[in-house]
Amino acid sequence: MNLNDIDYLIAVSEHQHVGRAAEALGLTQSALTRAIARLEQLAGMPLFERHPKGVLPTVAGQAFLRRARRMQMEFDDTLSELHQMKTGELGILRIGYSPSTDTERVLRLVQRMLAERPAARVNLTERLMHYLMDDLANGTLDAVVAPLPRPLPADVAEVALYEDELRVVADAAHPLHRRCTLKFEDLTAEPWLLPPPDTRLRSELDRFVETVGFAPLTVRVEAAATNLNTMRMLRDSRMLSLSSAWALPVLAGIGLKPLPIALPAMRRRVGWLTRRHGHRSPLLERMEQLLVEEFQR
């Protein structure tokens, strides 16, 4: 098996069709078919199931593909590291971060690192956590600052940075602020602004609501990223939303306040995530050091 074979295997899996994969690779279909047959002979079992519309990986093929993608990623990381050794370049550090993390402090540390290393370059990506984890896994990102996933993927390394508490926030003039005490059932009749159901924050909140036996929340607005502009929609409305405790002073500046209620299930740890066996460049090492010094002091 050689590195081309890995590319062939991945291409067939992505296109789910030998003909389309061959066209994308610039090969004849017969040449690609022979290459896959050679891999299946090496594996000792079929890697793809044939069906009228194309092919799908077998269970063995899925296992082979996971290892093949890791081999491809590690090879690319090795070439990157060798290139840096040869040229003396620092390269680019690709960092992803969730909008629910303390982005102000994280970006301030990025600025500090850039000031320390004038030749360094940083590529920043703000996305929801599950997208960031996909980007980390496929090598699009070198590191991620986000709530720590549970369970942690086997090929991901974590460094815990800080504990985060989610608070329910509303317009400062919301009638619920006039209540001396609040229970969660008092919030269930209110409209909400929340991220989509496939996000971790939303799924945890929905699970909490189901656990305590209440009807599903009325979500009037779903927003992929609850940034400052999105949260302005709570102004002069009855809508409620969730916010990290670190963001409360910022939200106070646009007229939003936390309600006097704590959600025991809405605590989480935020951390720095990297590929366990990925290339650790000097930039990545320094950024990790700055984060640890800032958040763990």
Which CATH architecture group holds 3-84? Orthogonal Bundle (1.10)
What does the domain layout of the chain look like in residue ranges?
3-84, 92-161+272-295, 164-269
Which two structure tokens, joined as six digits, stand for 103?
A: 């982005």
Q: Nearest Cα to 167, choosing from 251, 250, 242?
A: 242
Which two structure tokens, joined as six digits, stand for 242?
A: 């969730």
Which CATH number applies to 92-161+272-295: 3.40.190.10, 3.30.365.10, 1.10.3720.10, 3.90.1150.10? Answer: 3.40.190.10
pLDDT given for residue 84 in this prediction? 61
pLDDT given for residue 256 in this prediction? 97
> Residue 176, SS3?
helix
Distances (CA, A) of 18 to 13, 219, 254: 9, 44, 55
Distances (CA, A) of 237 to 13, 96, 170, 180, 196: 48, 32, 8, 20, 20
Fold entry, domain 164-269: D-Maltodextrin-Binding Protein; domain 2 (3.40.190)
What stretches in the chain show pLDDT beneath 50?
none
Q: Where are the alpha helices (DSSP H) in the chain?
A: 3-15, 18-25, 29-43, 59-87, 103-116, 129-137, 200-211, 228-231, 248-252, 282-295
Q: Which residues contact 257 (CB under 8 A, 6 or more apart)?
A: 169, 170, 171, 172, 177, 251
Which two structure tokens, joined as six digits, stand for 130?
A: 């599950």
pTM exceeds 0.75 for this model: no
**Other C-beta atoms within 10 Å of 224: how many?**
13
Q: Is 164-269 in the same CATH topology as 92-161+272-295?
A: yes
Which two structure tokens, joined as six digits, stand for 157?
A: 């390394």
pLDDT given for residue 193 in this prediction? 96
pLDDT given for residue 175 in this prediction? 95
